[in-house]
Chain A
């Protein structure tokens, strides 16, 4: 019973944290930071090249959003360099540490 209770609390916790993220504007800042870093490290260009291949394959007229999302998102996730990932995780942890006890 304690575990179920804990689970609910976890869900609540997550919701509370997400809310805090948005309220303080931290989420936007993190997003911007991530975008800037990805462009800087060339992730966007790599992904764009991949996109071109996909589109040429599918044909320019018949490309849909779903197609693109299905093809590109996994590749995108994989292509994120480690340094960017580490930095972002660090920032998130900091935020959590500051706000998780409140």
Chain B
């Protein structure tokens, strides 16, 4: 039967011997010290574990002594490292204590040294007068330093650059523009340069405008919000399309009344501006918004007839549509448009022409390529379609083409006429 742990026996004057052979006698000794009068049980228990039951009570002197002696004996038998007597233990305890105190002192020294070097060591020695200066303020309307809330907002600062007095809350944006260092400043500056260029050269012919506009496209237009794919190859044939569109956007932005609906109110434009505008953009006035269309000269929303009407309206009956020269490009030319236009032409939409309708743009492109010398189209001929080797016919046609009025694909039928 399992017995609960017994209370420790009364302390003895001499500790019992504990060796391998003393275990049994230890058990026996224990038995003899018992007072519950059950020798049989004790004897039976000798067969169980030799060590005392694990006791949860703090070690009493008896047991600690017993253990110390046990360890001593074991040390003599060179079995364990824990051989100690009390004096040794005490010495070690003193050592540990000394270590701890030294640690504390050192820590304190470090703190003091840091305070001295950082300058706050003598802080609590301030005289009471200076202390009064820095007392916490607790009045309504003031912060704890005594400053008025929002005081800085109404203050004015003097800009070091332009020496104007600016409101404090507007100072940072002003300085950004003033010094030309913000994100938007360069954009605005470039736009202004581009527009001043445009204005200066609005009288020159298409070619010069295109030159400038070419430069502007690569430099200024990139900064526009409506950014097309800017990784275009500068030499790609498609550049003129977006080029024209960008030009439209670009020249419309500042000097003209630029509205969000991507149209221009023509009342605000002067004659020079009108002319430059009409040479680069569609310009057809929309019925409901009364604004000029800012898309390219070949914008599919409006017909050439409309464009011609607009130009005649603004510039007089002798107005020449700039599309005459740009007709060679035909980049944005729909097939449907080409069909419609062809139907307007004096030429017969003969059967041998119809398969070449798609080729019409090709050939006109070819002409552009072939002509080379004549106009800017040579630069702008960018369609990648294979061109027919009709240079000879092209040159002849080029001359005739110039005299002809508007029609967009005049050379096409004439090529075939000549061949025929």
By a beta-carbon cutoff of 8 Å, the part of chain A in contact with chain B is 6, 9-10, 12-14, 16-18, 21, 27, 30-31, 34-35, 38, 44, 47-48, 51-52, 55, 60, 63-65, 68-69, 72-73, 76-77, 80, 85, 88-89, 92-93, 96-98, 100-102
Contact = CB atoms under 8 A, between A and B. Distances in A.
Most chain A beta-carbon contacts within 10 A, residue among B94, B107, B109, B122: B109
Given A55-B121, A76-B104, A9 B81 contact: yes
B82 to A, nearest CB: 5
Nearest to B81: A12
Contacts of B95: 14
Q: Per DSSP, are chain B's interface residues mostly helix, strand or loop, or mixed?
A: helix
Given A52-B122, A88-B97, A44 B59 contact: no
Given A31-B104, A80-B101, A89 B109 contact: no
B106 A92 contact: no
Interface of B: 59, 64, 67-68, 70-71, 75, 81-84, 88-90, 92-98, 100-110, 112-113, 116-117, 121-122
B233 to A, nearest CB: 69
A44 B102 contact: no
Main secondary structure of the interface of A (DSSP, over half): helix
A40 B179 CA distance: 61
Contacts of B121: 52, 55, 60
Given A38-B104, A65-B110, A72-B108, A101 B82 contact: yes
A25 B155 CA distance: 60
Nearest to B96: A92
Contact of A102 (B82, B83, B96, B104): B82
B97 A73 contact: no
B7 to A, nearest CB: 20
Given A35-B104, A65-B109, A85-B97, 15 more contacts: A16-B81, A17-B96, A18-B96, A21-B96, A30-B100, A31-B100, A34-B100, A55-B116, A60-B121, A63-B117, A64-B113, A73-B102, A89-B97, A98-B59, A101-B70
